[in-house]
């Protein structure tokens, strides 16, 4: 009887051992199959939509504010740096030189959400509003206006935000709206006297070159951000170029026929106040020789010029 019981126990142990071995083999086979399937999927899956992938990385401003607890300022700085890195990576990924006026081609659809989140976390983050006021108009002017309106709501005494907002309306050739914004901003404590002058001039001569130069010069003097300063330098150079282009076109038209080279009208260009190089080619405001387009007897910027094309 005792021997029979021992045999039954031995059989039970052997059966348990066999089940354990079988289960272990099934687990190993299953893990191996899963690893092989994952490897196959990694190789054969279609390319991911980079835009969708990027959208998963960020939360809304309200959500970030709830999640940041008492570290709103620190997290706002993080979002601010992320926005600069985001633009930088997009620019570096392009083989061609990207101008300020070409930012729309970079598909920077996350820039506004990033800047909006930073200012939701820290509504007094003036540098973010100013950056958005200069860069966003080239991507989406409505977003730029929305961000600056938000900045004015949270910082009603900050006249510089009125200035940037008026600038956007000026870009859109909505001179009445720009004049009104400047008029409101000029009432604020510390606002410079020229804000009133710009409000008055806007309605009378909002589209002229002198006004544009004054606008960019004032904006340049009032900001301390080197990135914004560089962008404004390019915009100021662009305004100077547009004025010079009119003079060059006038000289081309008065010559009677299309010159075969710049030297033929170099004297007329100098007389019109245009700087020329040794070959007689007119120089753009950055010192790069302009291109003579003989097919339509016109002038264009050289591809190496940093001046925005529009």
State the residue range of the domain holding 82: 52-234
Q: Which of 216, 234, 252 is the last residue of a domain?
A: 234
Q: Name the pTM for this structure.
A: 0.57
Residue 115, burial from CB neighbour count under 10 angstroms (0-12, 13-18, 19+): buried
Q: Are 86 and 114 in contact (CB under 8 A)?
A: yes
Verify that 28 and 154 share a domain, yes or no: no
Verify that 79 and 200 share a domain, yes or no: yes
Verify that 106 and 239 share a domain, yes or no: no
Nearest C-alpha neighbor of 152 from the set 173, 174, 180: 180
Q: Is residue 11 part of a domain?
A: yes
Count the domains in the chain: 3
* pLDDT, tens digit, 9 for 90 and up, residues 196-247: 777 777 766 666 788 778 878 887 888 888 877 888 888 888 889 989 999 9
Q: Is residue 154 part of a domain?
A: yes
* pLDDT, tens digit, 9 for 90 and up, residues 89-115: 877 776 555 555 566 667 788 899 999
Verify that 80 and 224 share a domain, yes or no: yes
Q: Are 183 and 203 in contact (CB under 8 A)?
A: no
Going by their DSSP bridges, the two strands 298-300 and 291-293 should be labelled as: antiparallel
Q: Is residue 310 part of a domain?
A: no
Verify that 74 and 113 share a domain, yes or no: yes
Residue 81's CATH number = 1.25.40.10
Report which of residues 151 and 174 the model is more confident about: 151
Verify that 264 and 292 share a domain, yes or no: yes
* pLDDT, tens digit, 9 for 90 and up, residues 122-151: 999 999 999 999 889 888 999 999 999 999
Residue pointed to by tokens 């029979």: 4
Verify that 161 and 66 share a domain, yes or no: yes
Q: Which of 204, 234, 264 is the last residue of a domain?
A: 234
């Amino acid at each position: 009887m005792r021997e029979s019981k021992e045999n039954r126990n031995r059989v039970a142990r052997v059966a348990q051992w066999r089940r354990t071995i079988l289960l272990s083999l099934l687990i190993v086979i299953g893990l191996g199959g899963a690893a092989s399937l994952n490897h196959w999927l990694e190789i054969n899956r279609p390319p991911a939509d980079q835009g969708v992938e990027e959208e998963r990385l960020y939360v809304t401003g309200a959500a970030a504010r709830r999640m940041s607890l008492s570290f709103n300022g620190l997290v706002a700085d993080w979002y601010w740096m992320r926005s600069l890195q985001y633009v930088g990576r997009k620019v570096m990924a392009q083989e061609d030189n990207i101008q300020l006026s070409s930012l729309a081609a970079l598909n920077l659809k996350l820039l506004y959400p990033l800047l909006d989140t930073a200012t939701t976390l820290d509504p007094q983050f003036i540098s973010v509003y100013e950056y958005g006021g200069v860069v966003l108009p080239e991507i989406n002017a409505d977003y730029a206006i929305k961000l600056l309106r938000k900045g004015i709501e949270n910082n009603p005494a900050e006249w510089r935000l009125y200035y940037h907002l008026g600038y956007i309306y000026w870009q859109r050739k909505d001179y009445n709206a720009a004049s009104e914004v400047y008029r409101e901003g000029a009432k604020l404590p510390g606002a410079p006297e020229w804000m009133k002058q710009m409000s008055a001039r806007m309605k009378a001569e909002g589209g002229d070159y002198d006004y544009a130069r004054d606008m960019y010069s004032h904006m340049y003097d009032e900001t301390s951000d080197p990135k914004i300063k560089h962008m404004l330098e390019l915009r100021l150079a662009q305004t100077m170029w547009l004025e010079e282009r009119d003079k060059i076109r006038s000289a081309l038209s008065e010559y009677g026929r299309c010159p075969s080279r710049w030297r033929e009208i170099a004297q007329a260009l100098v007389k019109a106040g245009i700087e020329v190089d040794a070959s007689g080619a007119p120089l753009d405001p950055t010192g790069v020789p302009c291109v003579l387009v003989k097919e339509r007897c016109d002038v264009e910027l050289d591809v190496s010029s940093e001046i925005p094309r529009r």
